[in-house]
Structure 1
Amino acid sequence: MSSQEQVTIVLAVGAALVVLLLWQVLRRRNLQQGFVSERDRATYETLHTASLAGRHLSGGLDESGAERALPHLRELLATPALALTGRRRILAWDGVGDHHRDQVHDAAVEHLGDGKVAVVNTLECNDPDCQVRSAVLAPIRVRDSIVGQLVALGEHPSAGLSRATEEVAGWIATQVELADLSADRTRAMEAELRALRAQISPHFIYNSLGAIASFVRTDPDRARELLLEFADFTRYALRQGGASTTVAEELRNVERYLVLEQARFGERLQLQMKVAPEALPTRVPYLAIQPLVENAVRHGLAPKAGTGTVVLTARDVGAEAEISVEDDGVGSDPERIQQVLDGETRTDSVGLGNVDARLRQTYGDEHGLVVETASGAGMKVTFRVPKFAPDA
């Protein structure tokens, strides 16, 4: 399990524990049918309300998410009004007393750097019926930085309200940190993909254009066909869009790649494909298979004298699809390959470490590449992905 996944799990568990504590400070509710006790009912309502708020904070702490989450958070705290601030301004306000917005903003600015719960007992107001006379401000701390405050507003502050506001602010902080981790993961995967494109393109484009040029005079029709295959391959490899595709689309791109490589290697390069129809709709990270085939051709078969074979297999294994790329080329030192996968060495082995990293980021460490190789004994690279996982 990666360190980022461990942090995510710890944060998620922590958020759940915070939510479970909140029922202790909720007002007592009437027992409704279907619950053994009033405590069960309060716990259920707290968890349900928190889940409704959490979905709106999945994108981080912004105005749109704050406006949608705040009514649910106010229900948790049962206050006349509730505000959520960022570092510089109020993001959202729910409930009565909106005319206190400027006073609350000033109080939030004053106490932002305190790093602890603050209570403001005197909010000036000319309305004798106004329910907002005080404010409890709890910091929202993410990675040792205060990114905002949760402000509970009412007539009289209490120790229970202060504690509950602090707990909810801690829960919000956890949701924001989870959103940040998700954004970091997405950015890392996009960077990996850009790096892979940059790595593949120079090698392959140069070799392909050289092969096409060799046919221009001797076989113009063949050159035209190869040029179309080259255009389709590069259009797919350099496309902008989602981070995932299907096994079927990846295999079509592998076929384009191998047509171009066979123009260069001729009969020296042989291909066998064994594909289970059930595996074809499975979604995989974009450019997860072709780089493995290119690695087999460039580093396994190109240095080998005589004919070499690449065997590409897509198997249906219950809830997963298994993809393997095997060659009978020159093989490699297993320790060197492990260093590549661990990111401990620089290499021109196209995409092996890159694909492994993206698989682990998407599905977890147990879905990384499994490499079987030895010097002079070829190489087999295998990975498994869930057939029914959400889009990678």
Structure 2
Amino acid sequence: MTTTATAFIATVLVLLIALFVWRRTQRVVTTPAQRAVHDALHTASLAAMPLRRGLTKGSAAEAAPHLRQLAGADGLAIADADGEILTWDGTQADFTTAARRALKEERAVLVNGDEHTLIAQPLTPDSGPALGVLGIVVAGKPGPGVLGAAAEVARYACGQLELAELDAARARVDRAEVRALRAQISPHFIYNALNTIASFVRTDPDRARELIIEFADFTRYSFRAAGEFTVLADELRNIERYVALEQARFGDKLEVRLTIAPEVLGVVLPFLALQPLVENAIRHGLAGGARGGLLTITATDAGTDCLISVEDDGIGMDPELLRSGELDAVDGRESAHVGLANVDDRLRAAFGNDYGLVVETAPGAGTKVSLRVPKFRAGVRA
């Protein structure tokens, strides 16, 4: 027997053994009850995805077939909070009147027909008015089990819509925080940058032209309208623009060192997460001293996370004041404190409480602000 034939037979035997083991495993672990649970969970997840976008005609139309399957109904309708029908799937009935009655009376309404019964179940959260109405059409007269299933499907749909409201509220808060952060970009920086550019217009027109471009790109990025997140590479590029403008003002007094691992440049982080840290370091850490100083920015690969730090060797601050939130009483540093708190809140909101800022400082010992950002987090993208 040739080597090729032997190898072929061995391969076939391995495949037959693997098939036998797989079939036995299927018989043991995949029972009808397990398959039913799996199918129900899968259907529920398919219904959840569109509902998490909020209640619209489009999301209702996508979710209705899956909700009908969960309820085991012949037909299913979804109406909005005004009782207006958004979609039907399957057998239809006179739903509008029943939906408005269910909303008004804040309870389920049954409408008996010749062959079918309509159950109008309001989508009522734990607090607040109903978000809409679920209409379920079943054959004959529904028993307690069917009525219970209709109530549970409505409760599930309502829960997903509540989560959509929370997502929308969080997005609104994020947008408000970004607007607040943009408002904190120091007017003194803008004034000083324009004065610096003006000083170069006669003495070094080419340098003035370069700085004008840097300033325009900096403001364009900082006040962009797109998204609450960005990638580290874009954030660092904007930091370079900011630093170039500050170095034009301070000259040799301001030294900047960047150590960035190339593999973390694509990491996603909250928009303008680094800007307040760098501005705080230059404005309050270095510019407060006559000698200037060194600003160091590092980003390193740490397995599943990216570690970023912004450090200066400037005047530092009292950690007790930082801990107690009393920076507004010290040398006009309230903008720095608000900026740090803003970034800390946005990091925790996006990635969890393990991802806030860590500040190491002492009077005369400089300040180091560190943060961790996960390389991947579901739902977070630039």
Query: Structure 1 pair 314/75, CA: closer, same or farther in 2 (3 Å)?
Result: same
**Secondary structure of the equivalent of 2:345?**
helix
Identity of aligned residues (%): 50
Kindly provide the amino acid, as one letter, of the partner of residue 94 in structure 1: D
In structure 1, the gaps of 5 or more residues are 1-31, 124-129
1:55 matched to 2:49: yes
- Indicate the residue corresponding to 1:87 in structure 2: 81
Change (3 A) 1:246 1:36: closer
Q: Are 2:106 and 1:111 aligned? A: no
Quick one: which of 367, 371, 379 aligns to 1:383?
A: 371
Q: For residues 256-271 of structure 1, what are the structure 2 equivalents within 5 Å?
A: 256-271=241-256
Partner of 2:64: 70
- Cα distance 1:174–1:195, how it changes in 2: closer, same or farther (>3 A)? same
Match of 1:153? 137
Letter in 2 for 1:296: A
Q: What's the TM-score, normalizing by structure 1?
A: 0.83
What residue identity is the alignment partner of 2:130?
I
DSSP-derived class of the 1:380 partner: strand
1:384 shift after superposition: 0.7
Amino acid at match of 1:267: D
1:288 to 2:278 alignment: no
Is the 1:119–1:157 contact (alpha carbons within 8 Å) kept by the matching residues of 2? no
Return 5+ residue gaps in structure 2 as ranges.
1-25
CA distance in 2, matches of 1:87, 1:229: 50
Match of residue 111 from structure 2: 120
Partner residue of 1:348 out of 335, 345, 362:
335
CA deviation vs aligned residue, 1:259-292 (integer Å, no higher than 9, x gap): 1101111211111111111222212222111221
- With structure 2 as the length reference, what TM-score do the two structures score? 0.85
Give the number of the structure whose alpha-carbon radius of gyration is greater.
Answer: 2
1:335 and 1:364 map into 2 onto residues whose CA distance is 25
Contact conserved, 1:52 with 1:69, CA < 8 A, in 2? Answer: yes
Q: Where does 1:143-182 land on structure 2 (aligned, <5 Å)?
A: 143-154=127-138, 155-182=140-167
Alpha-carbon deviation of 1:36? Answer: 4.1
Match of 1:27 in 2: none
Kindly state the Cα deviation for residue 344 of structure 1 after the two structures are TM-superposed: 12
Residue equivalent to 2:358:
370
Aligned equivalents of 1:361 and 1:180: distance in 2? Answer: 16
Q: How many residue pairs were aligned?
A: 349
What is aligned with 1:197?
Answer: 182
Q: Any conservation in 1 of the 2:101–2:109 contact (CA below 8 Å)?
A: no
Cα RMSD, aligned residues only: 2.3
| Cα deviations by residue, 1:10-54 (Å, 9 ceiling, x for unpaired) | xxxxxxxxxxxxxxxxxxxxxx96764332222122111111111
